[in-house]
Structure 1
Amino acid sequence: MYRKTQYVFDGDTPVAVEIRNYTKADFPELIAIQKESFPPPFPSELWWNDEQLANHVDLYPQGALCIEVEGEMAGSMTALLTDFDPAHPVHTWQEITDDGYIRNHNSDGATLYVVDICILPKFRSLKLGQLLMQSMYERVVHDGLERLLGGGRMPGYHKFSNTLSAELYAQQVIAGKIKDPVISFLLRCGRTPVSVVANYVEDQESRNYALLMEWKNPFHQ
């Protein structure tokens, strides 16, 4: 199992954080964090429920991480193992994550797929999402996997959808001409683009698009 303690900085003040595997005792807090992190118009049916979280800790506990700030639950990140063919990248979030229930988790898969990541708004200035992502990269290296992969929402796209295609919008974000809350964050985390995917998940702000992004294991042969 995974447990890591380190410090982040709130301004000039060091703050202790701990990343660990979440357990059933954490479910109420995790669901509350989902509701606050993904307010409407994000679909409420995509918030975690107890059955989904139970599957996460039962089927692949190594991919079920949470982060605490001085003992207070602040966010979580969930992943599963799957096979991925770069020549055929198109898929939906529902297909590859089994609607978040991860019953299709493949223990022999070589790709660590991000199901979800969320951080409470009040803690987002502490860069906790980057720490969770780094912890997943450590899992990729530790287990000798090929990559971490996931679809990034493009919540800023609705502001440009009348003038830019999703592909051009993604290109503008990657070029630094547009800042997208999610894609820009993932770039800062070291993720690189694979392809834009239409109808990835129901998301009005992203116009249902996502940018598939990966982190390749530099040690994988």
Structure 2
Amino acid sequence: MDDFDALSAMAERCFPGLETWNRDQIESQLKVFPEGQICIEIDGKLAASSSSLIMEYDAGLEWHNWKAISDSGYIRNHKPKGDTLYGIEMMVDPEFRGMKLSRRMYDARKDLCRRKNLSQIIIGGRIPGYHKHADKMSAREYIDSVLEKHNYDPVLTAQLSNGFIVRGLTPNYLPADGESCGYATYSAWTNLEYVAGAKRRFHHVIEPIRICVVQYQLRTIRKFEEFHQQCEFFMDTASDYKCDFVLFPELFTTQLLSLPSVDASRPGQAARQLAAFTPQYLDIFTEMAVKYNINVIGGSQFVVENDTLYNVAYLFRRDGSIGKQYKIHITPSERKWWGVSPGKKVEVFDTDCGPIAIQICYDIEFPELTRIATQKGAQIVFVPFNTDTRHGYLRVRYCAQARCIENHLYVAISGCTGNLPFVENSDIHYAQSGIFTPADAEFARDAIADECNPNVETLIIHDLDFEQLRRHRDQGSVQNWNDRKTDMYRVVYQEDEKTFEV
């Protein structure tokens, strides 16, 4: 109820001229069905809200009558044992539009629908763009034009992009809604996991995770904003495909060394100049991860801590939190040219899609690190890499594929292409980024889920099935992890002044 004043103010901005909820209605909604009343806050400020109730589906019910279905906003007709979630309102504050908040609201409703084992979501959606076309087309013609992408409607287009199907047109839905001329669509989303008669939450066994791998072309730029724009293009594209993760290459930030303000002639000093961009880099990727609703492995970036230079890969979660993995094995050229120091710990990060690990380029060539990550629960290892020749790339690729077989997990690798003239130790690049699997009957024939064409700027998108991975670990043709001869050999490592064995 602390949100009431903010809800009322937001409703006035979202639905000018329409009556807003009163305090009694909000109190009733929270009392009757608190799980169905959801809001999003950004920095403590209300940004979006969603209200719903559960009904028993009846084809003869007045689904077109918003006031009857919503009980005039009190939802006292909510049926906890019903089979249909009915959305009675959703709004996004104009100040926060463009951040895909409606998608998150619809995802939250879908999650609620699955958890409650409900068959579908039904909504009556406004068509606020219709008033601009009402003088030349009927409401049905307008909806057809939106379905065919001739016109854009801020509500209907969002519903269609979130998997809803228009089943009907409702006149006089909200007579006071001048923007929609009183009309609304009757739309539905079907829960494919629904089990009729189930008395408990039904757990779907397949958990597909969508991965986007970016093969990034390094090119000379004139200002930081050009780097930001190039990164945001890939983020926006991955978001359009509703990816869960996007992976950028190791030290793709060396593109910033081509800026006129940077002296890249002396590599050691150039690396520390690059590290000076870290605060800006952290700011833009944190913002984009939240804005585009994706977990981002932001390649890697030089960081100076206590006057020591590190190569660090950052995980930008879509909830705004950040994790980081220091590169542990430093190549001879990194030591010679840049003076990079090694990290000392294998991190495994919790995400909303399960535990993951990050290994930066050379690190994937040491099998002990992936053993440790697997022991800690990682199901996928993300490898940002940066190689100058095909030989260097092949070392990363073949070792990544070996780690899949040894540990029964997925590995995704992302590298740079293109050239940076006059940037020492980062002048030429070779890559063929990819997503790799264990080698067994249930996976792709060559154990490659997907891969880029070599040495061109592009991206790949692929769904990984973690349940398939679990079955492979338990029942695969070979059991590399289980068949280790730990009586003969083990991985022993130090962490936080303690000794561990794998």
Question: TM-score under structure 2 normalisation?
Answer: 0.37
1:56 maps to: 29
Specify the SS of the correspondent of 1:25.
Answer: coil
Letter in 2 for 1:190: G
1:74 maps to: 47
**Matched residues in 1 for 2:21 and 2:62: separation?**
25
2:5 maps to: 28
**Matched residues in 2 for 1:60 and 1:175: separation?**
37
1:123 maps to: 96
**Candidates 109, 130, 148, aligned match of 1:175:** 148
Task: Name whichever structure is richer in strand by fraction.
Answer: 1
C-alpha contact 2:8 2:21 (8 A) present in aligned 1:
yes
Question: TM-score under structure 1 normalisation?
Answer: 0.83
TM-superposed deviation, 1:86: 4.3
C-alpha contact 1:152 1:210 (8 A) present in aligned 2:
yes
1:39 and 2:12 matched: no
2:461 maps to: none
Change (3 A) 1:140 1:90: closer
**Candidates 99, 112, 125, aligned match of 1:139:** 112
Specify the SS of the correspondent of 1:48.
Answer: coil
**Candidates 157, 161, 170, aligned match of 1:188:** 161
C-alpha contact 2:64 2:186 (8 A) present in aligned 1:
no
1 or 2 for the larger relative contact order (CA 8 Å, sep ≥6)?
1
1:212 maps to: 186
Specify the SS of the correspondent of 2:2.
Answer: helix
1:152 and 2:125 matched: yes
Letter in 1 for 2:119: E
Unaligned runs of 5+ residues in structure 1 are 1-23
Aligned residues: 194
**Matched residues in 2 for 1:118 and 1:169: separation?**
22
Specify the SS of the correspondent of 2:5.
Answer: helix
1:97 and 2:70 matched: yes
1:197 maps to: 170
Change (3 A) 1:88 1:31: closer
- Alignment deviations for residues 114-139 of structure 1 (CA, whole Å, 9 cap, x no partner): 01111110101111111011001000
**Candidates 143, 166, 187, aligned match of 2:139:** 166
C-alpha contact 1:91 1:197 (8 A) present in aligned 2:
yes
CA RMSD of aligned residues (A): 1.5
Unaligned runs of 5+ residues in structure 2 are 196-502
Specify the SS of the correspondent of 1:125.
Answer: coil
C-alpha contact 1:89 1:195 (8 A) present in aligned 2:
no
TM-superposed deviation, 1:172: 1.1
**Matched residues in 2 for 1:103 and 1:164: separation?**
38
C-alpha contact 1:90 1:197 (8 A) present in aligned 2:
no
State, as a whole percentage, how many aligned pairs show the same letter. Answer: 34
- Alignment deviations for residues 119-178 of structure 1 (CA, whole Å, 9 cap, x no partner): 110101111111011001000011100111111101111222233221121111111111
C-alpha contact 1:82 1:106 (8 A) present in aligned 2:
yes
Specify the SS of the correspondent of 1:75.
Answer: strand
C-alpha contact 2:64 2:124 (8 A) present in aligned 1:
no
**Matched residues in 1 for 2:72 and 2:63: separation?**
16
Letter in 2 for 1:195: G
